[in-house]
Structure 1
Amino acid sequence: MKVSLITATYNSEKTLEFCMNSVLSQTYTDIEYIVVDGNSSDNTVDLIKSKAKDSPNITWTSEPDKGIYDALNKGIEKATGDIVGFVHSDDFLADDECISQIVQAFKNHKVDGVYGNLHYVSFENPDVVIRNWTSQPFQPKLLKRGWMPAHPTLFLNRKVYETLGNFNLAYKIAADYDFILRIFTSSKYSFHYLPKTVVKMRVGGASNKSLKNLIRKTKEDLKAARTNHLSFPLSVIVMKNLSKIPQWFKK
């Protein structure tokens, strides 16, 4: 099975090399690596060019976009793999076997999606775990409790995107939650939980950089819950936020 991995970048020179190396060091070889840059003004593009010279499986573009979800949509449109996943520029795959194990899970369980666990790590020292997002096998009732898999760990059959569409750009921060609700509320798809840390994310993402962003994200989460017809959407979002508290104590 061919895997398309997509990285969206914008002025990511501090973290991008670490991110790209985590992809390029995977033991699984049938990987198409798509890097979508938003017209960076630092050394990001030079770094991408340098990596692409030595790695024929890298394709990349650099042009203005409408934000990260627009960039990810561009990457999805370019993807030709059977499986599509994201490795954001501040993130990295947890070990060299991640993609191999994800592909094996798709083969063994005949599912449409595979997801795992995520570690939030220190920006300066990625060996230091700040927060541990441990997921669980999917059951529809979990959505009513505000549950979602960590989006960076979610790998999907490309046909899911072809059927349900890409990220809704009306959301600036919560398009991933909206998309997850779209696919996990559909009875058409099946999922497998891989009980391992798949991705490590440096702290300081777009959704938690400021109080203003946290408020906006909560409003967008509520909109997504209503749009996707969850019962008692306000209660769902309250539980969604409360469920994050134990993650700070699981190191």
Structure 2
Amino acid sequence: MKPFLSIITATFNNEKTLEETINSILNQKYTDFEYIIVDGKSTDNTTAIIKKYEPIFKQKNISFKWISEIDTGIYNAWNKGLKIATGNWISFLGSDDVYLDNALDKYVKKIIEEKNADFVYSKVKLINNNKEVIYIVSDTWKWNQFKRYMKIAHVGAFHNRKYFDTYGIFDESYKISGDYELLLRAKSCLKTTFINEFTAEMKDGGVSNKNVFKAFKEVKKAKINTAGISTIVAFFDFYFSLFKYYLSTFVKKLIK
């Protein structure tokens, strides 16, 4: 029996990129899924774009749900999506990310093969505004590495609904690294399976230094509180990650 999927997109004032995301979903051959958009009360043309695509999803006989209300961040929005999702496998696709052709077919094939998995993920391309690939996320999950660094791709990956039933929804006290914290909860018992193919592209958001610092702080918090890593190791990883980030930023400026 083929799985029914739920794909959730959180958006806020993303009129420039949302249509590309929506079209990448509409272009999938596999159609046994529902698409949920959670908008944070956008003030640009985002909701008009969402309404424009309602009849197209209806024509394709694909369930389409959306809400538009103020939220407190991406994990609050994703949790709202989870509350109305009916799929037994759930994915989160950013409003500036896209699925590649036949991505859902690849996921469904792997899900059928690995029914007991908690998390199914793949290779993902990070691209710039010129659609040039600047980085490839292709690491595979190993607990001893994962509890120290988030090196696997979360974009477009699918979570077994049973995982949320067992470990709960996203912790909304996190603003950047809540997806990492969620997957840490199962510790070494997390059952993952990897698709050694590209299924998605995500855009380089050009995260500010302030947000990078905040992200690393949240990762440190998750390691200590959820993964059970010692405070000393977590602080070492925190400062080492900062050092690597600022060093790479400095080198890039020199090259330019």
- Per the TM superposition, whether the score is higher than 0.5 is yes
The yes-or-no answer on 1:5 pairing with 2:7 is yes
Gaps of 5+ in 2: 249-256
The yes-or-no answer on 1:192 pairing with 2:187 is no
Q: Is the 8 A contact 2:125 2:135 kept in 1?
A: yes
1:218 positional shift:
1.2
The yes-or-no answer on 1:167 pairing with 2:173 is no
1:122 positional shift:
1.4
Instruction: Provide the aligned C-alpha RMSD in A.
Output: 2.2
Alignment map for 1:226-237 (pairs within 5 Å): 226-228=224-226, 229-231=228-230, 232-237=233-238
What residue number does 2:157 align with?
A: 154
Q: TM-score, normalised by structure 2?
A: 0.86
2:126 alignment partner, one of 115, 120, 123: 120
SS at match of 2:195: strand
What residue number does 1:223 align with?
A: 221
1:96 positional shift:
2.1
Deviations 1:170-225 (A, max 9, x none): 11111122112123x152x4110111122211111xxx521111111111111111
SS at match of 2:185: helix
| Separation in 1, partners of 2:241, 2:57 | 40
Deviations 1:84-133 (A, max 9, x none): 0011101011x22111111110111222221111211112x32x112111
Report which stretch shifted further, 226-235 or 161-170: 226-235
Deviant stretches of 4+, over 6 Å = none
Q: Is the 8 A contact 2:120 2:159 kept in 1?
A: yes
Gaps of 5+ in 1: 246-251
How many aligned residue pairs are there?
238
Which residue identity lines up with residue 193 of structure 2 in the other structure?
H
1:70 alignment partner, one of 53, 69, 76: 76
2:134 alignment partner, one of 130, 148, 166: 130
SS at match of 1:64: coil
| Separation in 1, partners of 2:146, 2:192 | 14
| Separation in 1, partners of 2:199, 2:172 | 26
SS at match of 2:41: coil
Give aligned-pair identity as a percent: 37
SS at match of 2:38: strand
The yes-or-no answer on 1:91 pairing with 2:65 is no
Q: TM-score, normalised by structure 1?
A: 0.87
The yes-or-no answer on 1:50 pairing with 2:52 is yes
Q: Is the 8 A contact 2:101 2:199 kept in 1?
A: no
| Separation in 2, partners of 1:70, 1:147 | 21
| Separation in 2, partners of 1:217, 1:3 | 29
